[in-house]
Chains A and B, each alone.
Chain A
Amino acid sequence: MSASGLILAGLDGDRTWGLHDYVARGGYSALKKIIAEKIPPETIIAELKASSLRGRGGAGFPTGLKWSFMPRSFPGAKYLACNSDEGEPGTFKDRDILRYNPHAVIEGMTIAAYAMGCERGYNYIHGEIFDVYQRFEDALEEARAGGLLGQNILGSDFSFDLFAHHGYGAYICGEETALLESIEGKKGQPRFKPPFPASYGLYGKPTTINNTETFASVPFIINMGGEGFLNLGKPNNGGTKLFSVSGHVNRPGNFEVPMGMPFAELLEMAGGMRGGRKLKAVIPGGSSAPVLPGGVMMDCTMDYDSISKAGSMLGSGAVIVMDETTCMVKALERLSYFYFEESCGQCTPCREGTGWLYRVVHRIEHGLGRPDDLDLLNSVTGNIMGRTICALGDAASMPVQSFIKHFGSEFQYHIENKKCLVPPEVQYQGSQIYVRP
């Protein structure tokens, strides 16, 4: 964890997550200001728009714009949902936000509820992080006790109830409509859109869903103003962002840095390449973002536009670093297995196609590849992409396409020689059990 940035600034691990310390860090001042000055919801949304905050869940959708879709005059209940179902391989930032600074999320959600007129919210927390779920429950208790949540917040006539919902092991629930289904007590199978959650969301009511980090940024935007936040980063890529750096680096971890920081600098922050080995490839935005060769990556800056120009996506900001000892076929095999395992099973192309992809990559890795296999993989991914209800189909296809695109010769070598291009003596050397320095 880095001590720079906004959300992670000034934290001291498990010691300072509580309400008292949060307030001492200036926490809840944004909410207090809004209530005290009776700032109109439209003004808040305008600030969000000015900040150029883009959703931190992966798609990078402008948050202010999303908030403005909520029907203002809708008569019944409206809901807010926080997406803390972080399960995209490589991503581990929301866990740190929730365990070290949970009140930033609570404050951000409360402000969002105020801005959109939501009466109730849920934070959907990834199944595997039960301790974080419990801590968030404790933080909610603190906030309620402090009059910061619940009925008549800070003595105003604004009320908002917030609860934690615990997942139990399904990556797909990170998809926003699957998440809603899951809160409703069902299987997490994504819904066809339209209708979009803003008109038909949780329990059929208008609902806005944002990522944990997105919500956690909100108090800072209110405090420093939209412009101030924007100026931390670069145009169209406002603010700071958490990057989860994993893989072959000396110090894996989360780094909150201004948008637009050169990748090389981020790599340096993470301690550089482990064992001084050579950078081979980077997946810059979580496992579903296309992989980029190390050289290409070294020329990128860490923001939506730069990464997109290089042919990948900033996604969730999960940077998976691979060194020269990595077998790309094996790496893809593991990712393909993941999507196969996590397909929810409703759409035909995803249900049948992810297994097909995995099996073909698996046979290549195991020396059973056939000459046409790369064409077959490209064709099957082509038949999955854009043909499914949610983007998991695309997420499963993009790694396959990009691995073949950038490392096709390695695949070809596997097929032709029934063995790996990476010399056996160095294979996986970088992937031994990691021991913290």
Chain B
Amino acid sequence: MLSHESLQQIDREIAKYPHDQKQSAVMSALRIAQVEKGWLPKEVIEFVAGYLGMPAIAAYEVASFYNMYDLEPIGRHKITVCTNLPCALSGGVHAGEYLKEKLGIGFNETTPDGMFTLKEGECMGACGDAPVMLVNNHRMCSWMTKEKIDQMLAELESK
């Protein structure tokens, strides 16, 4: 179900916790699985649960509780824009509008070519860098002016 590398990474996470507390690694394991698969189909969640010896529904609770897991297929690149108040004061909402316009989609939508999914995010703890956006969960982009957004989209498109 998951690649050897992913399993190795998961094993490293498991090792951080007391040996009878494997479940503690579920968040990392789901993250690692999502990086490999692009999103979290139920079979993957079930596999992760089995790997950690926890009930499948408990893993599903986790996968559905935390925002950054995707329980539905998404585009090749996911862009999450923070529109919370501090960011909004420095153009977070406008940056989101600009992205919508550029991509021709709204929040929670994917471009027809399957390239981009756009999401509205909550505070990322980077309000001083507004507008901020998160690319594919793991890359934070700061001070995103229109020019920088154009650049970012071009760069992602070529990947």
Contacts and interface: CB of A to CB of B under 8 A. Distances in A.
Interface string A316-331: 0010111000100001
19 contacts: A89-B85, A90-B85, A92-B126, A128-B134, A129-B126, A131-B139, A166-B31, A167-B27, A168-B27, A169-B68, A185-B25, A185-B26, A187-B61, A188-B66, A246-B89, A246-B128, A331-B88, A338-B122, A433-B144
A252 B90 contact: yes
Given A166-B27, A166-B31, A335-B85, A434 B91 contact: yes
Interface in A93-113: 94-95
A128 B16 contact: no
A126 interface: yes
Contact of B94 (A253, A322, A331, A433): A433
B24 interface: yes
Interface string B115-159: 000000111111111110010011110011110000000000000
Nearest to A247: B89
Given A128-B68, A165-B16, A334-B88, A92 B129 contact: yes
Contacts of A321: 89
B125 A433 contact: no
Interface in A162-206: 163-171, 182-188, 203
A3 B68 CA distance: 34
B127 A185 contact: no
Contacts of B61: 186-187
A110 to B, nearest CB: 17
A248 interface: yes
Interface string B2-39: 00000000000000111001111111101100000000
B65 A431 contact: no
A342 B67 CA distance: 9
A203 B21 contact: yes
A184 B54 CA distance: 12
Q: List 3 A-B pairs, minimum CB-CB distance, nearest first.
A: A169-B67, A433-B91, A185-B23
Nearest to A126: B125
Residues of B in contact with A, size category: 35 or more
Interface string A152-167: 0000000000011111
Contact of B31 (A89, A92, A164, A168): A168
Contacts of A254: 128
Interface of A: 77, 86-92, 94-95, 120, 122, 126-131, 163-171, 182-188, 203, 244-248, 252-254, 287, 318, 320-322, 326, 331, 334-335, 338, 341-342, 344, 430-436
A183 B13 CA distance: 12
A168 B67 contact: yes
Contacts of B54: 185
Contact of B124 (A129, A186, A203, A253): A129
A95 B142 CA distance: 13
A248 B91 contact: no
Contacts of A184: 21, 23-24
Contacts of A120: 18
Contact of A169 (B22, B66, B128): B66
Contacts of A432: 91, 94
Contact of A187 (B25, B62, B128): B62
A431 B94 contact: yes
A432 B121 CA distance: 18
Given A90-B86, A247-B90, A431-B90, A130 B138 contact: yes
Interface in B85-129: 85-91, 93-95, 98, 121-129
A91 B65 CA distance: 22
B30 A168 contact: yes
A3 to B, nearest CB: 16
Given A129-B125, A185-B25, A185-B26, A334 B84 contact: yes
A321 B88 CA distance: 12
A67 to B, nearest CB: 23
Given A170-B66, A431-B90, A131 B85 contact: no
A433 B25 contact: no
B131 to A, nearest CB: 6
Given A170-B67, A185-B23, A186-B62, A435 B145 contact: yes
B69 interface: yes
A430 B93 CA distance: 12
A433 B85 contact: no
Contact of A92 (B16, B21, B121, B128): B128
Contacts of A92: 125-129
A187 B18 CA distance: 19
Contact of A171 (B69, B123, B144, B146): B123
Nearest to B138: A130
A89 B86 contact: yes
B65 A188 contact: yes
Nearest to A432: B91
Nearest to B137: A130
Contacts of B68: 127-128, 168-169
B91 A95 contact: no
A344 B83 CA distance: 20
B124 to A, nearest CB: 4
Contacts of B125: 86-87, 91-92, 94-95, 126, 128-129
Given A127-B137, A188-B66, A252-B127, 20 more contacts: A87-B123, A88-B123, A89-B122, A92-B127, A92-B128, A94-B125, A95-B125, A120-B18, A127-B68, A129-B125, A130-B137, A170-B65, A171-B123, A184-B23, A246-B87, A252-B129, A431-B89, A431-B91, A432-B94, A435-B143
